[in-house]
Amino acid sequence: MTHEYLDLQTVAHVEGTVRLPGSKSISNRILLLSALSQGQVAIVDLLASDDTAVMLAALRSLGVQWTEEQTATGTIHHVTGVAGVLPNKSADLFMGNAGTAIRPLTAALAVIGGDYTLHGVPRMHERPIGDLVDALNAAGTNVEYTGNPGFPPLHIRLGKITTQRLSVRGDVSSQFLTALLMVAPLMAKEHAITIDVIGELISKPYIEITLNLIRRFGVQVEQDGWASFTIQPGQVYQSPGTIHVEGDASSASYFLAAGAIGGGPVRVEGVGNNSIQGDVRFAAALAQMGAQITMGDNWIEARANGPLQAIDADFNHIPDAAMTIAIAALYADGPSTLRNIASWRVKETDRIAAMATELRKVGAIVEEGPDYIKVTPPAALSPATIDTYDDHRMAMCFSLVSLDGAARKGAPTRINDPKCVNKTFPEYFAAFAKIAQ
């Protein structure tokens, strides 16, 4: 695609099977854990996207060796772990707009120590990292802001861990806690390290992913509910040998919603009953709206069952996939309210504001609050040119307004800057075209 926009015609029916790309959240966590571990790790089905390219490039700059092997069934990345000791003690790292890369890497570099600078695209310099840096510096690391306090870019120098307890806010981004959990074994050399969570922890399913992967790399984490986490001393990350990356459950949401809106059945492969990702719960939200959902160990299928029903629910546990519910709400039989989604405001863009603006273009009446959005569907959708705000999920979500639902017509839609999907799903529009009849 050489154009800066993509035109989608109205689609009468969707049906088919989509093999999902690897999960972004799992991919970048596994890359860092593999790099920090002892031994060789073979990573199967790592996501190929902007965000993982950023992490792979950063690891290479730090002296971590990895190779990529193409096989008949897919790609295997072979990473040689450095057992917590980075070969390169100084590096200048460009982190793009990858929150899943910069936050854990900041924690790792701060704890290991050296002379490192981390920076990204302008939007990255507006995404908060202060709570993480405060927690690290209170523990004895040496992280400085070189721009606005509380935000990247950062300069990391050698510090000394002087504490056995850290505390971090849980209500801005779960990635701060994820970052601390991933580096806690590096801190717990002689003493146990306990991380206390201040306030309510949002996006708990993402912490479940983190804990699951840390344990797969041989480190035990003791939990006191969601209030505190303790890592006993002397534990070292060990290679699990071969590790598979699940399909991306957030990416699954667009195809499942397409099946629920545009007939179906649409099946996604790569996630299912056995998934460690919280975003598979998106399927339950669609079922609540009246879609017919079936599920196996490694697949989920959705089909329409008449017009969708309006929903009023708390989406704190699936903030990324919840964006797709805001689009499904256009096809519902009344106003829908998505609650407890304040974290949308500090993502790739301010997603509450962006979503409200673009939903109004297609004819919806939208009420926007600090942590909620209420969508009243129009009688029919209007053709519109959708701005994507350099946010992959905006582009993928709004592709769905080209679908004809049971009760109202979809509309021809122009998506500006469609290439922003490269962040997590470069082949998205090709996959969408395959199920669109």
203 is in an annotated binding site: yes
173 is in an annotated binding site: yes
Helix (H) or strand (E) holding 373: strand 372-376
Helix (H, G, I), strand (E, B) or coil at 104: helix
Based on the residue annotation, tell me whether 320 is a catalytic residue of this protein.
Answer: yes
The CA–CA distances, whole Å, from 386 to 58, 131, 367 equal: 33, 34, 19
174 is in an annotated binding site: yes
* DSSP secondary structure of 298-327: SEEEEE--SSBPP-EEE-TT-HHHHHHHHH
99 is in an annotated binding site: yes
347 is in an annotated binding site: yes
Let me know: does 383 contact 411? Beta carbons within 8 Å. Answer: yes
Nearest residue to 393 via CA among 279, 292, 297: 279
351 is in an annotated binding site: yes
Catalytic one of 45, 50, 51, 320: 320
216 is in an annotated binding site: no
Q: Which residues pair with 18 in a beta bridge?
A: 268
Let me know: does 168 contact 130? Beta carbons within 8 Å. Answer: no
Positive/negative CA dihedral, 404, 424, 29, 173 = negative
Let me know: does 333 contact 308? Beta carbons within 8 Å. Answer: yes
Let me know: does 338 contact 313? Beta carbons within 8 Å. Answer: yes
235 is in an annotated binding site: no
Let me know: does 136 contact 163? Beta carbons within 8 Å. Answer: no
247 is in an annotated binding site: no
29 is in an annotated binding site: yes
Roughly how many angstroms between the first and final C-alpha of the chain, as a whole number?
A: 21
Distance CA(207)–CA(230), nearest Å, equals 14
Binding residues for phosphoenolpyruvate: 24, 99, 127, 175, 351, 393, 423
Any idea which residues carry the catalytic annotation? 320
List residues forming the annotated binding site for 3-phosphoshikimate: 24-25, 29, 173-175, 203, 320, 347
